[in-house]
Amino acid sequence: MRSLFGFLLTVFISFQPVHAVNFLTEDNPPLNFTRDGKLDGISTAVIVEMARRAGVPAQTSLISWSEAYSRAQVEADACVYSTARLNSRNNLFQWIGPIARGYWSAFALDGFNEKITKVDDLKAFRIGIVRDARADYLRERNFTKLLEVDRDRDNPAKLTLERNKPGGIDLWVTQGYTARDVAREAGVPGVKEVFSAIMSQDYWLACNPQMPRETVRALSNALNEMKRDGSHRKLTELPRNTQ
């Protein structure tokens, strides 16, 4: 009798319904961005496949990082990606991942000739950066010349070799994989990497604390399955952006 009860309980738990999820993200190639009017990117590919395998009804939305991050804290059906798992954020979400990994580098116009040998050398310059974990990281290292934006693709056009140009930036700190592609699309083809891999970072799916545990568990199990069968590696492999 006990064995039958245990079996029925396991079946009941296994078939608990999962709830619809709203995946929120920002414009941040190659992790998440729009292509031909559709949300794309390696992290997007991962979370869409996770939802499919988990049987979780889901929709994806690209908005500003600040809005996505705020909504994921107050809306029970919301998750934000691609999110750096910082100590200050750890208790704010239920975490699934890592779903992807990236590295951040500093880029400048081709005519930039200043010598940069360490991260702290970057402090002398005006830096364009997205208002997210990248900016938080640099502020923690006492960077003060940060010009923050909501969309990374707005930064290339602000690059200048004129140190005193109003509204200009000397350097652009961004994802190293696709910086040149983003710059070309913004009409700024002549950029170069002047300091590589300021830091590398794992990225996570961060879900609201009130999201049902069975939904979070189903998504997490799907991700683990993807990593076991090699499909996660195939979705996240990217060549490093070189000149």
| Residue pLDDT, tens place only, 96-143 | 999 999 889 999 999 999 999 999 999 999 999 998 888 988 999 999
CB 23 within 8 A of CB 60: yes
User: 114 in a domain, yes or no?
Assistant: yes
Which amino acid, one-letter code, is at 145?
A: K
User: 26 in a domain, yes or no?
Assistant: yes
Domain extent for 139: 103-200
Q: Is the pLDDT of residue 22 over 50?
A: yes
Based on the domain organization, do 133 and 71 belong to the same domain? no
Based on the domain organization, do 131 and 84 belong to the same domain? no
Based on the domain organization, do 55 and 127 belong to the same domain? no
Q: What is the mean pLDDT of the chain?
A: 90
Based on the domain organization, do 95 and 113 belong to the same domain? no
Task: Kindly state the tokens that stand for 231.
Answer: 């499909």
- Give residues with Cβ within 8 angstroms of 80, minimum separation 6: 23, 24, 25, 68, 69, 71, 72, 93, 205, 206
Based on the domain organization, do 81 and 119 belong to the same domain? no
Give the distance from CA 24 to its chain's centroid.
11
Instruction: Write the pLDDT tens digit of every residue in 154-187.
Output: 999 999 999 999 999 999 999 888 899 899 999 9
User: 242 in a domain, yes or no?
Assistant: no
Based on the domain organization, do 134 and 114 belong to the same domain? yes
CB 24 within 8 A of CB 63: yes
Based on the domain organization, do 120 and 209 belong to the same domain? no
Based on the domain organization, do 121 and 142 belong to the same domain? yes
Based on the domain organization, do 158 and 208 belong to the same domain? no
CATH number at residue 183: 3.40.190.10
* Residue 128 phi, psi dihedral angles, 5° rounding: -90, 135
User: 243 in a domain, yes or no?
Assistant: no
Task: Kindly state the tokens that stand for 69.
Answer: 């991050």
Based on the domain organization, do 95 and 19 belong to the same domain? yes
- Give residues with Cβ within 8 angstroms of 182, minimum separation 6: 29, 152, 153, 156, 174
For the chain, the straight-line distance linking the first and the last C-alpha, in angstroms and rounded, comes to 69
User: 27 in a domain, yes or no?
Assistant: yes
Q: Which residue has the higher pLDDT, 243 or 195?
A: 195
Based on the domain organization, do 84 and 148 belong to the same domain? no
Based on the domain organization, do 213 and 223 belong to the same domain? yes
Which amino acid, one-letter code, is at 52?
A: R
Rg (alpha carbons) of the chain, rounded to whole number: 20
Strand partners, 146: 127
The model's pTM: 0.75
User: 241 in a domain, yes or no?
Assistant: no
The structural domain count of the chain equals 2
